[in-house]
Amino acid sequence: MAYFPAFLKLDNKKILIVGGGYIAYEKLEHLLDFTKDISIIALELSDDMSMMIKDNNLLYEQKAYEVGDIKEFAVVIVAVDDIPLQAEIFAESKQYNCLCNSVDSTAYCDFIFPSYIKKDDLTIAVSTSGASPAMAKHLRIYLQNLIPDTIGEFLKEMKGLRKTIPKGKERMKMLDEKAKNYIQQWSNK
């Protein structure tokens, strides 16, 4: 199955993570790059997970998952090593039109987490559609080393130009040329 690469706007979208171990911690760490509207349900938390929840003032309930816990959420991440529970939560997510990701079980996923690079306004996602997360990770590391540190400043400038120059073909051409020149300058170094 091929996954369509889309970037979700998470403003005003509540996210639930079920689980408190290392994988839940990894998912939480990634999500915090984009939103803080995250709640966690778990019987136990790893030390890292506990610290991250406290540091970011997130909601945590120490309990086992119960039917109905996802009804207020737009996205649920099932980060538990319990396939029947993953299947149960995935099925329930359909009732609430809630997007579901069950770690290491693509059969119970509406979406998967790509390996990604985030530098200011730039986000680049890399996916192997679940075939090899390790390959996606190493490709991300390779690409990350290619991106110049000045990319954030350049994108800030481009954003400002888009806001001030009237829309039209001339603006498109000028912005395209500016982006092309930036890439050429950085790739020639």
pLDDT at 189: 66
Q: What is the Cα–Cα distance from 30 to 103, expressed in whole angstroms? A: 14
Mean pLDDT of 86-104: 96
User: What is the pLDDT at residue 188?
Assistant: 76
pTM of the model as a whole = 0.85
pLDDT in tens, 22-60: 999 999 999 999 999 999 999 999 999 999 999 999 999
CB neighbour burial string for 50-75, b if at least 16 within 10 angstroms, e if fewer: bebbeeeebebeeeebeeebbeebbb
- Stretch (H or E) spanning 87: helix 83-95
- Asked if residue 138 lies in contact with residue 128, where contact means CB atoms within 8 angstroms, the answer is no
Pairing verdict, β 115-119 and 122-126: antiparallel
Q: What is the pLDDT of residue 78?
A: 98
Give the residue-averaged pLDDT of 125-143: 90
> Residues 91-120: what's their mean pLDDT?
92
Q: Confidence band (pLDDT; 50, 70, 90) for 179?
A: very high
Residue 125: which pLDDT band, with cuts at 50, 70 and 90?
A: very high
From 89, 24, 32, 30, select the one nearest 58 (Cα to Cα).
32
Mean predicted lDDT score pLDDT of the chain: 93
DSSP string, 116-166: EEEETTEEEEE--TTS-HHHHHHHHHHHHHHS-TTHHHHHHHHHHHHHHSP
Two tokens at 85? 């529970």
Can you identify the CATH homologous superfamily of domain 15-113? NAD(P)-binding Rossmann-like Domain (3.40.50.720)
Residue 1: what pLDDT? 58
For the chain, what are the domain ranges?
Answer: 15-113, 151-187
